[in-house]
Amino acid sequence: MTCTGKKTGKVTSSHWGAFEVLTDGNKIVGTKPFANDREPTGISDILPKAVHHSSRVLRPSIRRGWLDNRNTTDRGSDTFVELPWDEALDIAAQEIDRIRKDHGNSSIFGGSYGWASAGRFHHALSQIHRFLNTAGGYVSSFGSYSTGCAQAIMPHVFGVPFLKYTYGSQDSWETIAEHTQTLLMFGGVNPKNSQVSMGGITEHETGSWFEKFAAQGKRCINIGPQSTDAPEGCEWMPTKPASDTALMLALAFYLEENGLTDRAFLDRYTTGFDRFRPYLMGERDGQPKTPEWASPLCGLPAEKIREIAQQIATTRTLITVAWSLQRAEHGEQPYWMSAVLAAMLGQIGLPGGGVGYGYGAIGGIGKSLQRMQGITLPQGTNPISDVIPVARIADMLMYPGQEYDFNGKRSKYPDIRLVYWAGGNPFHHHQDLNRLNNAWKRPETIIVNEPWWTATAKRADIVFPATTPYEREDIGRSNLDNYLFNMPQLIPPVGEAKDDYAIFTGLAKRMGIADAFTEGRDPEGWLRHLYRRFEEHAQTTSIDVPDFDELRERNWVRLPLKVDTPEKSFLTIFREDPDGNPLHTPSGKIEIFSETVDGFGYDDCPGHPVWLPPSEWLGQATPQSPLHLVSPQPGDKLHSQMECALADVEGARPETLVMHPSNANQRGLKTGDIVKVFNARGRCLARVFVSTEILLDVVALPTGAWYGDTEQKIDPDGNPNVLTIDVGTSKLGQGCSAHTAMVDVQKRD
């Protein structure tokens, strides 16, 4: 961005990377790309407008209906009363004390998400959980909207936590470049998504690696409904959403029928193929999973399926699976089946072969780095054992005491009386937002720390104005990155905003738990304490890091963490010696059939991968809902952050809906037209973009637009989650089913 007048600049870090921030003392006036980033993202361009936007929460605010008579039904439409900090903190502390004393800490839900800041101390999730643990605990959540389903199913298959597999045990881009011949990408590998990463990604490089792959003549096959889900030059094989498991089964059938299955690998390293094979070959249900069977389900010709199967059987093949595939009904199945297909090829544990998850989902996956201990604010111990799957929040609020299944356990939803949310916007992440809007009126009290008047803040009872990362000092560091940042305070807090730490300290003092929460440290004291522990660990690994004051002076350093020969993954070690290094599964092997999962008795997730069509998909299209909606991550921001400023850009809202030319012509639509996207759950506006890069009868509407005025009965800015279905992926995973949604589109009246 260009700017005028006297200005100074310093580098800071964010989840979408490092960039220079230009200020005039009290205001951010521009940003510049970080010099070391060869593929910088443009997300930061809108930051000056967002930080100083009129939608900032300027003062502590309490909803009038709640203040007057504890009314909960007007959340989202009520007005707010601004109060002095001391008075607002008094009211909030008294309310938290009342709830925990009258109903117990199991009636408090501590909601947060880790995307508020790349800073390691001012990490909203750690801050709120530390405070609530100090106050006696809270009901917590398992997993994330991005990977909750995978986190439940994949430990049953490989015996390790899914995120440990994803972040620490997958091939590097260098290894793929050297050894992989065929890259078979279910859901693509999207450079747009790899713009961001938890804690920051400084050098963006996904696109440049695919340029190298193309120059090498590597075959990169993008399986999915959009060609744009993979870099240019990849071979697009358009398939229907939700059909990946059927295609994988057909590939597996071809291998088995043509003697291409690596039986020696299956016998030595896996268990349960004998239980899976009768289903695959149709001996159990009378339906062989042939290419001809799969073709109408996935949309690929049978001969193309056979050609792919022959390709992956005769070359070093890495199967990659996007996170998006498990964000749908029965999302467990393509993840499990991808592991089975890779096992049948016999390449798991070989360099450049096997199966990988999340390449392109976030930046950092594929970087070859020496691992270091992170910088983390201790959260303490939660005395409350109640945990719900993260995507089941609306169910929890609506049905206290109702039983539900999750990963082999049967539990009851707690009776939540108070929700405290910091560092997140559930009215962005959650599905069927109109349903959530109704559920959100059930708790007695909702408290939110938030810089902007998001849909969540507007639906709270007590709103504390929180600083953005540019209004406080922090340390930026990620285990998926080789940079270390001092994130300086760049401008004074906007309005009367305070750090989450200051807000929770104020509440803790009033509740008599300040000493336990602060341990006698102010923010700088905590930064020095956390950094000292990081230094001590660095010394044990012979990594040279500057001391705290030197880092402040230097602003940032590149750490010597890149390695030419990465550590062997657990699967490589397992392949070398399966008896001496068994997996942490019941059998010690890769579980094609799981006795554990089978023992749960779930009809929607049996003991081995199966084809289970979702309740809504193109195979069951109706005249009322003929189009399958996918809702990818946005390319112009992180989730819904800074949406306030983007909404002010002429022509940027409502959000863009990508549609095939034939579907557009049928409806008399052209690029730029404003349309209504609708189904039985809700309606929203969108701006059409006609493209041949999307499959016929599929439409794509990115997430991130703020949930709008429900009094209008239509979301004005194009939030797809007014249309998505709020059901669990299965009784096992209970993840979100965002990509299970059928809609129709028509020109706005």
> Tokens 């989840």, residue?
15
What's the CA dihedral at 41, 198, 116, 700 to 10 degrees? 60
CA-to-CA separations, 727 to 25, 49, 443, 735, in angstroms, rounded: 49, 37, 21, 8
CA-to-CA separations, 116 to 424, 452, 578, in angstroms, rounded: 7, 12, 42
The encoded tokens of residue 593 equal 């059939």
Q: What is the largest CA-CA distance in the chain?
A: 77
Rounded distance between C-alpha atoms, residue 264 and residue 276, angstroms? 16
ω before 191 within 30° of 0 (cis)? no
Q: From the centroid of its chain, how far is CA 76?
A: 26
Catalytic residue, candidates 16, 66, 85, 113: 113
The encoded tokens of residue 586 equal 């019941």
Identify whether the C-beta of residue 318 lies closer than 8 Å to the C-beta of residue 146.
Answer: no
Rounded distance between C-alpha atoms, residue 701 and residue 657, angstroms? 5
Q: Identify the CA nearest to 696 among candidates 672, 657, 662, 729.
A: 662
Rounded distance between C-alpha atoms, residue 469 and residue 611, angstroms? 45
Containing H/E element for 127? helix 124-134
- The side-by-side arrangement of strands in the sheet containing 8-14 is 8-14, 17-23, 28-33
Q: Identify the CA nearest to 634 among candidates 719, 549, 699.
A: 719
CA-to-CA separations, 66 to 7, 55, 100, 103, 463, in angstroms, rounded: 44, 22, 19, 19, 12
Identify whether the C-beta of residue 675 lies closer than 8 Å to the C-beta of residue 747.
Answer: yes
> Tokens 């996007």, residue?
322
Long-range contacts of 707-711 (CB under 8 A, 24+ apart): 707/427, 707/428, 707/433, 707/437, 707/455, 708/455, 710/76, 710/77, 710/434, 710/437, 711/77
Rounded distance between C-alpha atoms, residue 345 and residue 267, angstroms? 13
> Tokens 């881009």, residue?
173
Between CA 319 and CA 323, with CA 321 as vertex, the angle to 5 degrees is 165
DSSP 720: G
Query: CB under 8 Å to 267, separation ≥6 — which residues?
Result: none
DSSP 562: B
Rounded distance between C-alpha atoms, residue 726 and residue 742, angstroms? 13
3-class secondary-structure state, position 364: coil
Residue 113 annotated to the active site: yes
The encoded tokens of residue 67 equal 């203040």
Q: From the centroid of its chain, how far is CA 32?
A: 27
What's the CA dihedral at 347, 348, 352, 357 to 10 degrees? 130
Query: CB under 8 Å to 713, separation ≥6 — which residues?
Result: 683
Containing H/E element for 447? strand 445-450
Radius of gyration, CA atoms only, the chain: 26
Rounded distance between C-alpha atoms, residue 608 and residue 611, angstroms? 10
Amino acid symbol at 106: S
Q: Where are the alpha helices (DSSP H) in 169-238?
A: 173-179, 206-216
Catalytic residue, candidates 16, 115, 269, 335: 115
The bridge status of strand 418-422 relative to strand 108-112 is parallel
Residue 236 annotated to the active site: no
Rounded distance between C-alpha atoms, residue 481 and residue 369, angstroms? 8
Known catalytic residues are 113, 115
